[in-house]
Amino acid sequence: MNRKRKKIEPRYIILIVTVIIIVLIAVLSYALKTDKKLNTFESIVKDVVVEVQKIVYFPFKNFSTMLSNYNSLKDVLEENRILKSNVEKIESLEAENVALKKELEEMKNELNIEHVLTDYDYLNATVVSRNAATWYNNLTIDKGSHNGIEEGMVVINSTGVIGKTTNVSTFSSDVKLITTTDTNNKISVTITNGDKKLIGLINGYDYKTKYLEIEGISNTDNVAIGDLVYTSGLGGVFPSGILIGKVADITTDVYDLSKIINVTPSANFEDINYVTVLKRTDNK
């Protein structure tokens, strides 16, 4: 292969490298800001690529679904028997539900909690891709502002809270997972220990142990391994009552004043294919 080889002057190389380093620092610090919103160009590009990505992904997803459906067929008979027995209980559950809703409304007013799960509409979405930069803890879903999604909406799956929406474009959105090291992503939580409820704050996620770390619990408070951790509803972003996980390990801080509680998340972050976005009903 014949190639012309032009010599680049060393001073230009030094200049280019310096400029690139400065630009990279500026760009990355800008990009890591959580409140960065997509501009029109970014939004259009992202939508187009996500739509094509959905078409490309379609046969692979169908094949994978077919395989899992086939695997679950053997359990159908047993599941059907359980479902039949559950159907008989529905009427009594509905009556109980009405009474509980009324009770919940009264308690919300009394405790001054802004949002609970019943204040939300559920919107199901499919994960289209995960972030190429694995340290970023983002994934992309196939629903956007066209479907009523806004920045900062809570995203859950069947096992618990996953994260919140960011970078919303017309037909797609990103989900910033709760495992991110982003300090702006702290979530207020409640630890239920018998009748007592303790309020703490998720401080981060340890990838080695796969624990969420909770701080802000006094050393005098009783917390036991196996206690359940839910969102508290304080802070106004995450509604109360969504399961986060179970207490797995308890230590104290360096001053022996407060507890550091490690929680095993209920959600499996390695296998997220379908998610549910909680849309506030007053956003409709």
End-to-end CA distance of the chain: 62
CB of 268 to another protein, least distance (A): 10
Query: Sign of dihedral through CA atoms 244, 202, 163, 71?
Result: negative
> In terms of Cα–Cα distance, which of 211, 222, 212, 157 is closest to 188?
212
The helix or strand, by DSSP H or E, that contains position 166, with its residue range, turns out to be strand 160-166
CB of 43 to another protein, least distance (A): 9
CB of 149 to another protein, least distance (A): 16
CB of 194 to another protein, least distance (A): 34
**Binding flag, residue 14, another protein (CB under 8 A):** no
CB of 34 to another protein, least distance (A): 11
214 — phi, psi (to 5°)?
A: -110, 135
Residues 43-62 touching another protein, rule: CB under 8 A, are 45-46, 49-50, 52-53, 56-57, 60-61
Give the count of beta carbons closer than 10 Å to the beta carbon of residue 135: 9
DSSP letter assigned to residue 234: T
Which residue in the set 130, 186, 246, 280 belongs to the binding site for another protein (CB under 8 A)?
130
Q: How far apart are CA 99 and CA 101, in angstroms?
A: 6
DSSP codes joined into one string, 77-115: HHHHHHHHHHHTTHHHHHHHHHHHHHHHHHHHHHHT---
**Binding flag, residue 32, another protein (CB under 8 A):** yes
**Binding flag, residue 71, another protein (CB under 8 A):** no
Which residue in the set 14, 15, 25, 224 belongs to the binding site for another protein (CB under 8 A)?
25
Which residue in the set 63, 70, 135, 255 belongs to the binding site for another protein (CB under 8 A)?
135
For another protein, how many residues bind (rule: CB under 8 A)?
59
**Binding flag, residue 255, another protein (CB under 8 A):** no
Which residue in the set 115, 154, 162, 167 belongs to the binding site for another protein (CB under 8 A)?
167
Give the count of beta carbons closer than 10 Å to the beta carbon of residue 147: 17
Task: Please name the residue ranges forming H helices in the chain.
Answer: 10-31, 40-73, 76-87, 90-111
Comparison of 27 and 107: residue with beta carbon closer to another protein: 27
272 Cβ neighbours under 8 A, 6+ residues apart: 127, 139, 157, 162
**Binding flag, residue 30, another protein (CB under 8 A):** yes
Which residue in the set 76, 87, 99, 133 belongs to the binding site for another protein (CB under 8 A)?
133
Which residue in the set 67, 111, 122, 207 belongs to the binding site for another protein (CB under 8 A)?
207
Positions that interact with another protein (CB under 8 A)? 1-6, 8, 13, 16-17, 20, 23-25, 27-32, 36, 38, 42, 45-46, 49-50, 52-53, 56-57, 60-61, 127-140, 167, 174, 177, 179, 181, 207-208, 210, 269-270, 272-273
